[in-house]
Amino acid sequence: MKLMTLAAGLVLAASAAFADPVEGTWKTQPGDDGNYGLVTISTCGADICGVLGQGYDASGKKIASPNIGKQMIWGMKPAGDGAYKGGKIWAPDRDKTYNSKMMLSGNQLKVEGCVLGICRGQTWTRVK
């Protein structure tokens, strides 16, 4: 029993040690509608994904939205040196999905995406 407990503890410690640096909660910049959100980024198998956790209006008041809990980032792959690429990002303010890449620099995450040659980007700030 002690051996199983030790093994489980080592697995948990190893998982925490190998957590991707982009994992956490990120505050988006306001969209076209002035609203912003908190996105929780985590690993999904070998990829990085993100889910909209809460939405806020321009004054910072929580808003109810059918988009809360919706996946915003999927298929993103670490490319080294803080870069992520090969994924998709969904923008709720325009209801469009973009081919995306991200660049992590400290507590800032530059998120960019393009669809049919039209590109846009934001810089998100780490909340936790």
What 3 state SS string does the chain have?
A: CHHHHHHHHHHHHHHHHCCCCCCEEEECCCCCCCCEEEEEEEEECCEEEEEEEEEECCCCCEECCCCCCCEEEEEEEEEECCEEEEEEEEECCCCEEEEEEEEEECCEEEEEEEECCEEEEEEEEECC
Min mean pLDDT across 2-6, 98-102, 103-107, 114-118 is at 2-6
- 29-72, pLDDT tens digit by residue? 998 889 999 999 999 999 999 999 999 999 999 999 899 999 99
pTM value > 0.75: yes
Q: Is the pLDDT of residue 99 over 70?
A: yes
What confidence score (pLDDT) does residue 14 get? 36
